[in-house]
Structure 1
Amino acid sequence: MPKLAAFPKAYMQELCKDGTMSVSEWINLAGELEVDGLEWYSGFLEMEDHENWTRFRKEVQDQGKEIPMLCCSPDFTHPDPEFREKEIEKQKYWIDMIHELGGTYCRVLSGQRRPELSREEGIQLAAESIEECLPYAAQRGITLILENHYKDDFWEYPEFAQKMDLYCELVDQIRHPNFGVNYDPSNAILAGDDPIELLKKISDRVVTMHASDRYLKEGTPEDLRKEEVGVEGYAERLQHGEIGQGLNDYDAIFGELKRVGFDGWISIEDGVEGLDQLERSVSFLRGKISEYWP
């Protein structure tokens, strides 16, 4: 049966930029949630102090939870080899981080969709960089998970392998026992793709999932396209919604995951309107998991 984790989507600014929330405060808040674990983020300000790693692991365990996966954002599509090598070293550092936190999954991405980058070059650079990290991950028992990503909170350009065809081609390039897919249905919608069509193409490679629901506060997907490059983070019109109330068909999603024998972690990206919203999303997903994995 899949397990549920929570990610502090509502508190990224406080935890990663201005420091107005401590990681311990987030752990205590999340302790009230009926989840099995907390998805971690490499950019929490307090993670810069290595001594905090084991402390936070214990604090989470004291809440009866674990830290299964680490969200981080390597940028492997930069044309400069020295830049990419530094990103590979960062990824290895993040692999060490999740290993010490007690988890087994570490996110990887392709990188930013820079205007000068060709399709062939982007896939090659991303695949080669990920493959260079895999032996290091395998030595530590970590699985690298490639997300069908939209855009990191602190990136200027969207994900290179955002579109379904590019993403699937990149996934197909990499065959390793310590490599899998982190599926995010909302990101497929933002890419203009059908999330169920994407899932059916990659479901046998899915080992973790991000559960979210998105909607556009105003305008159209075409308006979003015009706003997603050249500025840091997400466009203003893009909103995270309560799970089960947005555009995703969770019956179709869970039906396909059940069909392929999925039993991994589902991490909730929600709660931007408060902990009550996050609790409702947890309840919705608990109900769906019980329905499909009775």
Structure 2
Amino acid sequence: MCGLSSSIGEVKGKVYPISSTLLVFSKLTFEESLERLREIGVDGFELYNPFFYKGIFRGTLSFDQEGLRRVEELADSYGFKVTSVNAGNNFVQASRDLFEGQVKGVKMCIDAAFNLGTPVVRVFGGEPMEGKTEEECVRAIVEGLRMVASYAEERGVTLALENHGKITNNVDILLRILDEVDSEALKVNMDTGNFYWYGYSLSEVEEIFERLAPVTAHTHMKNGTAERKYERRKIGEVKLTPLPEGDINLLKVVRMLKEKGYKGVISIEDEFEGWTTLPQEKVVEILKRDVEYLRSAF
């Protein structure tokens, strides 16, 4: 096990390392999921904390010292980098005890990232809750992120807040949270498909990407199609597709990130129709095309 490195690392001959989430293979064992990733041709993967993702990989992944040592050994044996450690937190909770449990889980991710030499922890904010106003939800998110950001600063880890769900997909709220937490340790995990899912028009989505690029520490490449792509829509009025088939020009997004000085990885979170139900061979085939598509950006 090693201390934190200053960067995820460069891949010879490639502008950006290509990473992938592992959720698409979460019903396999952890090692089986890495075998699938090797077929796809990525350079690394995002590591999910079973504290938040109960039973993931059939219980074959743990975040204790021995479990993380095993992660490191397997990553090395497959030639992968662990590009982020992912929390599935929600700071909008019904009680203080539940809230503090979420803080504890994120700190566990920060410790794991430090020990694995991974510079980024992906975090969420939270979701609306009956009986709480939007303002109360935002305040809870800000409080939680302040608590974990100070811890991340001590460990030299960057938190990447994802635009996710019904609160932080509002770009103004997302930026307000960053401003109020006011920590160099808190940046953004830019999920390209989630803003489109939230209902922003295609042109608005492109503007948002430009706006967020300077504060982006990690990415999720996702795409989809909408019947009224140039108009504001209701949440969810989008069909998620393989990366090359959606309305968003992801190659343009990747090139823009490079122009803006982005130093992280390009990570795939492709939730195309059937991503959890299609035969594994078909899923691998689609994800291989995703990798080839993203590499064609340069």
Q: Which TM-score band (shorter chain)?
A: 0.7 to 0.9
Which segment is superposed worse, 40-49 or 52-61? 40-49
**Structure 1 residues 99 and 223: alpha-carbon distance in aligned structure 2, compared to 1, 3 A threshold:** closer
Question: Residue 168 of structure 1 contacts residue 201 of structure 1 at CA under 8 Å; is this kept in 2?
Answer: no
| Counterparts of 1:260 and 1:223, CA distance in 2 | 29
In structure 2, distance between residues paired with 1:223 and 1:74: 21
Amino acid at match of 1:5: S
1:269 corresponds to: 269
Residues 2-44 of structure 1, C-alpha deviation per residue, up to 9 Å, x if partnerless? Answer: 22101124223x1xxxxxx110011122123332211111123
- 1:223 CA displacement: 7.8
For 2:288, the equivalent position in structure 1 comes to: 279
Please list the CA deviations of residues 238-277 of structure 1 after superposition, one character each: whole Å capped at 9, or x if unmatched: 7542112112122442243123111211111127241011
Equivalent residue number for residue 170 of structure 2: 163
Is 1:175 the counterpart of 2:185 in the alignment? no
SS at match of 1:111: coil
SS at match of 2:266: strand
- The count of corresponding residues between Structure 1 and Structure 2 is 260
Which ranges in structure 1 are unaligned for 5 or more consecutive residues? Answer: 15-20, 151-158, 226-237
| Separation (CA, whole Å) in 1 of partners of 2:24 and 2:258 | 29
Give, in whole Å, the separation in 1 of the partners of 2:60 and 2:190: 28
Partner of 1:2: 16
* Contact kept? 2:127, 2:137, Cα under 8 Å: no
Asked if structure 1 preserves the Cα contact closer than 8 Å seen for 2:89 and 2:102, the reply is: yes
AA partner of residue 246 (structure 1): G
Q: Do the aligned partners of 2:86 and 2:109 also contact (CA within 8 Å) in 1?
A: no
Q: Partner of 2:159 in structure 1?
A: 144
Question: What does 1:22-41 correspond to in 2, within 5 Å?
Answer: 22-41=29-48
Given candidates 201, 204, 220, the residue that maps to 2:211 is: 201
- SS, match of residue 175 in structure 2: helix
Query: Within the alignment, does 1:118 sit opposite 2:123 as a pair?
Result: no
TM-score (norm. length: structure 2):
0.80
Native 8 Å contact 1:108 1:147 kept in 2: yes
Moved more, 45-54 or 56-65: 45-54
Instruction: Extract unaligned runs of 5+ from structure 2.
Output: 1-14, 276-281
Partner of 1:274, secondary structure, is helix
Partners of 1:166 and 1:135 lie apart in 2 by: 21
Give the 3 Å change call, closer, same or farther, for CA 115–54 of structure 1 in structure 2: same
Identity among equivalent pairs (%): 22
**1:106 aligns to what SS in structure 2?**
strand
Query: Could you tell me whether the CA contact under 8 Å between 2:199 and 2:236 is conserved in 1?
Result: no
Pair 1:27–1:223, CA change in 2 (3 A) = closer
| Partner deviation per Cα, 1:175-207 (whole Å, 9 max, x = no partner) | 222221100110000111232122222221011
Q: Which residue number in structure 1 is paired with residue 117 of structure 2?
A: 102
CA distance in 1, matches of 2:244, 2:132: 37
Secondary structure, counterpart of 1:145 in structure 2 = strand
Contact 1:2 1:262 in 2 (8 A): no
Secondary structure of the residue that 2:41 maps to in structure 1? coil
Q: Distance in 2 between matches of 1:90 and 1:7?
A: 19
CA deviations on 1:75-131 (whole Å, 9 max, x unpaired) are 112242222111111111121223333311111111111133223222211111111
SS of the residue corresponding to residue 181 of structure 1 reads strand
Measure how far apart 1:134 and its partner are.
1.6
C-alpha contact 2:198 2:234 (8 A) present in aligned 1: no
Partner of 2:146: 131
**Secondary structure of 2:220's match?**
strand
Query: What's the counterpart of residue 245 of structure 1?
Result: 245
Q: Which letter maps to 1:286?
A: R
Q: Quick one: which amino acid aligns to residue 262 of structure 2?
A: F
- Secondary structure of the 2:244 match is coil
Q: Structure 2 CA distance, aligned partners of 1:264 and 1:39?
A: 13
Check whether the contact 1:3–1:263 (CA below 8 A) recurs between aligned residues: no
CA separation in 2, counterparts of 1:211 and 1:49? 26
Moved over 3 A (4+): 220-225
CA RMSD of aligned residues (A): 2.3
